[in-house]
Structures are given as C-alpha cells and as structure tokens.
Amino acid sequence: MEFKEIIAVTGVPGLKKLVANRNDGLILSELDGSNKKFYSNRQHMFSPLENISIYTDNDTVVLLDVMLEMKAQKATNAPVEPNASNDDLRNYLGKILPNFDRERVNISDIKKLLKWFAVLEPLDVIKKAETTESDEAKTVAKKEVAKPKTVAPAKDVVMQKQSVQKPRQTKNKV
C-alpha cells in the first residue's frame, strides 16, 4: 500500500484505501483490505492524503512531509494524545513544523493529523516515493520532447491573410 492510495471520505470515520474508480464514485476498502464498499460522489467528498497540505506563514507543506518529520522526531518528541489540551497540541505541532500558521490551522486539524499518524505509522506507509534512475531518465526525456518548437510563419500564409477581396459587382436590370 502506498500513501497516494489512502483517501479521507467526508461523513465516514477513519481512512480508506482506493480499490477502484468509477464514474459516479469510488470503491474503497478498509486499510487492511477488508470490507470493500462503494461510495457515491453525490453523497461524499474524497480527499486523497497526498493532496492535503498544512498552512505555514509563507506557503503550504505537504502532509507527507509533515508526517515524515513526525516519524523522524518520534524518539525525541513523542506525539501527544489527540485529546490533549489545545496548548499542548499547538506546542507539539510547533516543534514539528515551527512556522505553521496558528490562525488558519485549527485544533481539529491537529487532532486529525495525530489520529492519522497513529493509524498510518504502524502500516509503514509514511515514506517518500522511491524513484529509480530509469524513472528519472524518463522524466528528463519527456521534458525534452515536450519543449515547444518555434516555427516562423510562411510568408505566403501571411500575405493571403492580408489580401482583401474585391466586392462583387451586381448587374442592374432596367
């Protein structure tokens, strides 16, 4: 299982794993792969975890980067309980992400972050996507192919566009 396959669904507790995509919704399962179920996009909104970011003073930081930092600091800075006081929650996130925007990041967001981390950390999902040299070579090749080529317009084409048609003369009947 990869981080990009994990989805949060509005109105449904916990996180789900993407199984299949349909035109009118998604088929999702529990993180352990059991209990597959269809969720309609008319009733639910889907948020892949890879698209979620946390506000900072300057920009945003991707959720995966924040969770990687939480994992790196776990030995020295253990995560607090989600039901801890508001000051404890903000202080913890301040140690993980010192420049997080204290006005736009709600306490409920910090609690959700801690709950998700507690669920995902034992599953070994919190890791950077590994790229191989061949993948990097393919992306470089795609960038080279995608460069637009500039072609000067032909003079004949320009002249045809500039030419003006003479109006037709009509014959008057007497």
Q: In the structure, what pLDDT confidence band is assigned to residue 154 with cuts at 50, 70 and 90? A: very low
CA–CA distance, 104 with 100 (Å, rounded to integer): 9
Both 67 and 114 in one domain: the answer is: yes
Residues 61 and 107 in one domain: yes
Which pLDDT value is given to residue 140?
47
Q: Which of 93-97, 131-135, 169-173 has the lowest mean pLDDT?
A: 131-135
Contact in structure between 96 and 70 (CB atoms under 8 Å): yes
Contact predicate 41/26, CB 8 Å? yes
Total domain count for the chain? 2
One DSSP character per residue, 117-155 reads: HHHHTTTT--SPPP--HHHHHHHHHHHHHTSPPP-PPPH
**Backbone CA torsion sign across 43, 110, 130, 119:** negative
Q: Do 40 and 11 share a structural domain?
A: yes
Q: Are residues 60 and 115 in the same domain?
A: yes
Predicted structure pTM score: 0.70
Q: What is the CATH number of the domain that holds 106?
A: 1.10.10.1650
CB-CB contact of 162 with 38 (8 Å): no
State which residues form the domain around 68: 53-120
| Domain co-membership, 65 together with 115 | yes
**Is the pLDDT at 134 greater than 50, yes or no?**
no
Q: Is residue 71 included in any domain, yes or no?
A: yes
Q: What's the chain's Rg over C-alpha atoms?
A: 28
Question: Does residue 58 sit in the same domain as residue 107?
Answer: yes
Q: Which residues contact 146 (CB under 8 A, 6 or more apart)?
A: none
What token pair was written down for 10? 């509005």
Quick: pLDDT tens for 16-38: 999 999 899 999 999 888 889 99
Any domain includes 158: no
